[in-house]
Each structure stands twice: as structure tokens, then as C-alpha cells.
Structure 1
Amino acid sequence: MGRNYFIDAAKGLSIILVVANHSYLSHWFEEWIISLSMIRMPLFFFLSGIFFKFSDTPFKFFGKKFSALMKPYLVFGLFLAVILPFIGRGDFVTHATGVVWGTRSEFLSLIVLWFLPHLFAVYCLAYLVLKNIKL
């Protein structure tokens, strides 16, 4: 089966909607951006799972998803946890704990990546549920 360009276009649209919401465009097209905000993240999550397959072993599946989603989140988060105290924004322990637990307190720099641990959790839950349900 070849690439599905419709899915590629839909993924691109969902990414553009997310970026537009977080950019200055949201001030110019506020009503339009707000009305589309109801679909942008559900569309992003739906498209992330549209080709979901669970043929891998659990260890391999979770490892791939961890590497793709959680490594960037943890590396960036821990990088910020080290850097921010040097510029007078909190302490390392508070930031590192926030990265691990995914909390927002005093760690707004990482809030833009909230979807990575959530998407990882959704993938893990979907794998466990779909592997154990006979359809």
C-alpha cells in the first residue's frame, strides 16, 4: 500500500491549526481559530493513531513509542531543568520533578510539549486494550 496523501494533508492541516493557535495569527483570526480549536487536538490525536498497529511485542512497541515521544520530552525538559536555575527561574529539583510528573507549576517552558506524554499514554493504553479485546 502506497502513501495516503489525503492523510498527509490532514496531518499537515492539524499541525497548521495547532501552530496558528499558538502564534500571533490567533489575534487576527480569533473567532476562526477559536472555532477550530475544538477539532485541532482531537484531529491530531486521531491522525496519530489512524495507522496504529500492534503487531510488535509489547516491549518493542513501548520501546519505539518511548523513543519517539518521551525521549525528546525528557531530554528537552531536563535540559531546561538544568538551564533555568542559572537564569534565576526556580531550582533544578522542582523543574526535574515537574518534567517527570508532567506538572506545570513553575515550568511553563515545557507546557508546549504536553501532548507528548499524553500521546504516549494513549498509545500504551490502546495497545493494552486492543491486544486484549477480541473484535
Structure 2
Amino acid sequence: MQNYRIPLSEISPSGKDMTLDDPAIWQGPLAEFRMDCRIIDPLKAELGIMPLEGGYLVRGSITGTVVLPCNRCAEDVTVTVDSHFENFEETAAEPEDEEAATTGEDLLESRVVVENGVSYLDLGAICWEEFVLALP
């Protein structure tokens, strides 16, 4: 999957608004997961990111048009995507004990990742997940 990460240090205390309209955000994962879905009207994600205690609030919308095969009749169906979402992405927390650290019991799935000592918010993963959830 293409990498669309933003360093957390680039998000001001008043928040940050972003628009993601690169076709690779959607086409890469569609090919990777072998989804029979064609984009006919470009997909666009508009995001607002607000830092809060313990994480980041991500509000946004995804719009566009795709063609999917109908599971009942196998004919192509045009689907207009107009999805609005709100997610709270927690910052990575340290596990409380060593056993939890090795088993991953206390780890929450988060779109906040640390790479080479820098924390990033993975916007591509958030957009992809919300796009898939918006499909019928």
C-alpha cells in the first residue's frame, strides 16, 4: 500500500486540514487485494485532524463514484461514495507488563506508527479503511 503518513509534529495544536486525491491511495490497495472495483469518478478524501489528549481526532469524508459487480446478478453497479466519518486514533501506549508486551494483549490497533523515532499518522490506512466500509 502506498505510504501517506504525516509526522505528528506537523499537526499544530489548532489542527490540520488535508485533502487526499491521489489515485494511488485507492488503486494500489484495489490491485493488492484483487478487488473487482473500478473508479469512474475520482475518489477524494477531505480530512480534519485535531490533537487531543491521548491521540488524534480524525474527521473526514470520502466522495467519488465506483463500479462494482452485483453479488446477486453479476451485472455492474455504479455506486456513489459519499461517506462521512469520525475516528479517534490513540497514540501508542506502552504495555503495562512484559507478558503483555510479548503477547500484544494490551496493544490497540492504531494508525499512529513510530518509524526511526518519529511518530506518524497513517492517513492512507485511515482513508482505505473508511472507503471499504462505505462500500455496499
Structure with the bigger percentage of strand: 2
Q: One fold, TM greater than 0.5?
A: no
* Higher RCO (Cα < 8 Å, 6 or more apart): 2
Give the TM-score normalised by the residue count of structure 1.
0.28
Structure with the bigger percentage of helix: 1
